[in-house]
Structure 1
Amino acid sequence: MSNTAVSICSNALLMLGAQTINSFTDSADLDRAKLCANLYPSNRDQLLRAHPWNCAVKRLILSPDATPPAFGYSQQFQLPADCLRVMEVGEGGCQIDYRIEGRKIQANTSVLELRYVYRNEVENTWDDQLVNLMTMLMAARLAYAVTQSTSMEQSRLQEFERALRVAKAIDGQEEPPQTLGDFPLLQARYGGGW
């Protein structure tokens, strides 16, 4: 089965004992469809931003803007429109000094390598854990509107938070361990000399 925003919302409604929707403009129950359409985008972005999910990470090389910043850094770079969270800024694999202001990155470099969490709107490319989490989050967000029960809303939110911790751990374990660089302090600590 193909995962879509509508299927995720429909499954969330099923978890609450409500009728499903066929689209965000479903005329059979326009209220539920509108509610899902309004809540889904911001909750999706919030969940994607909460963790660097492997299925929502992108790399780009940015060119500087024509207008440099007024002071502090020599160049500024426009963040991509789909950028939800900056993960790594570097040049040739080395971290560089930078500052984010608004939707711009300022740095003293002529080319900027950027690794970031992007707004992945193709749910079919998501990891199954992330699809499950989004379904649980939507169930929590829809719970009160659908059931009029605050205890159902709290129960669904707690269930989501527990699943989020597990999913973050599993997703994070797919990354190779990061090694500490060749720092003089570490060499001194472990028997190297200065």
Structure 2
Amino acid sequence: MAVSEVKICNLALRKLGARLIESLSDSSQEAVTCNLFYEQVRDSVLREHPWNFAAARGRLAKLIDTPAFGYAFQYQRPVDCLHLRQLNSPDDEFVVEGDKILTNRENASAVYTMKVVNPVLFDPSFVMALSARLAAEMADDITGSTSKAQEMWTLYLNAMQSARLSDSSEGREDEILNDPWLEARGIHNSDSFILRG
């Protein structure tokens, strides 16, 4: 059976011991909650790691206006870009400001994480990580249990570690820094987490 948004949501709901849905347009609490969280959680997990299946590269469109200071050129950020990984060379300095990329690199190209919306294109390990993160985000609304939410966050971190190891085996590895957002929730990444740069 092909991967679909409904299937990913049902994987999350199953982890929570909740009723499964037949469609995201259902009027059930489960479907409404999945609709509320799915897109934002998907994009967040895409940004968490430089997934191979979501990698894209291309020339950037140079803008006529130049930055007021600090950099020589500015480019339009690609519309499907969720996270800019690097420019032509890993040594190229840049900053992202709104929908602009500022740099001193002339004729810049970029490698970035694109917004992949078709679940058929997802890596299997990404599907498992996404469903675990979705379960973690929905746990309070679906179960009303903070302990269940904590359990799902742990499940998500474990799924991400496994997914990163699998995905990074096809490229070089870099150390990942602790995520302040997760730390605020009392969840800490270990230095053993890696991501492909």
Q: How does 1:99-118 map to 2 (within 5 A)?
A: 99-118=95-114
Instruction: State the match for 1:35 in structure 2.
Output: 33
Instruction: State the match for 1:191 in structure 2.
Output: none
Instruction: State the match for 2:169 in structure 1.
Output: 173
Instruction: State the match for 2:126 in structure 1.
Output: 130
Paired with 2:95 and 2:14, the residues of 1 have a C-alpha distance of 44
Paired with 2:126 and 2:86, the residues of 1 have a C-alpha distance of 22
Q: Displacement, 1:120?
A: 0.9
Alpha carbons of 1:53 and 1:94: their partners in 2 closer, same or farther (altered >3 Å)? closer
Alpha carbons of 1:177 and 1:48: their partners in 2 closer, same or farther (altered >3 Å)? closer
Q: Displacement, 1:177?
A: 7.1
In structure 1, what residue type is equivalent to 2:153?
A: L
Contact 2:73 2:105 in 1 (8 A): yes
Paired with 2:166 and 2:80, the residues of 1 have a C-alpha distance of 25
Correspondent of 1:71 among 69, 72, 81: 69
Paired with 2:173 and 2:12, the residues of 1 have a C-alpha distance of 35
Q: Displacement, 1:164?
A: 1.1
User: In terms of Rg, which structure is larger?
Assistant: 1
In structure 2, what residue type is equivalent to 1:123?
A: P
| TM-score normalised per structure 1 | 0.81
Contact 1:89 1:115 in 2 (8 A): yes
| TM-score normalised per structure 2 | 0.80
Q: Displacement, 1:75?
A: 1.9
Unaligned 5+ segments in structure 2 are: 175-197
Secondary structure of 1:85 counterpart: strand
Q: What is the aligned-residue identity percentage?
A: 33
* CA RMSD, Structure 1 to Structure 2 (Å): 1.9
Secondary structure of 1:163 counterpart: helix
CA deviation string 1:95-151 (max 9, x = no partner): 433332222111234421100011111111111000011111111222222222221
Q: How does 1:150-165 map to 2 (within 5 A)?
A: 150-165=146-161
Contact 1:63 1:110 in 2 (8 A): no
In structure 1, what residue type is equivalent to 2:158?
A: R
Q: How does 1:46-85 map to 2 (within 5 A)?
A: 46-85=44-83
More off after superposition, 53-62 vs 65-74:
65-74
Alpha carbons of 1:97 and 1:12: their partners in 2 closer, same or farther (altered >3 Å)? closer
Instruction: State the match for 1:96 in structure 2.
Output: 92
Q: Displacement, 1:51?
A: 0.5
Alignment: residue pair count: 174
Secondary structure of 1:45 counterpart: helix
Unaligned 5+ segments in structure 1 are: 179-194
**4+ residue segments displaced more than 3 Å:** none
More off after superposition, 106-115 vs 154-163:
106-115
Alpha carbons of 1:94 and 1:50: their partners in 2 closer, same or farther (altered >3 Å)? closer
In structure 2, what residue type is equivalent to 1:3?
A: V
Paired with 2:90 and 2:25, the residues of 1 have a C-alpha distance of 48
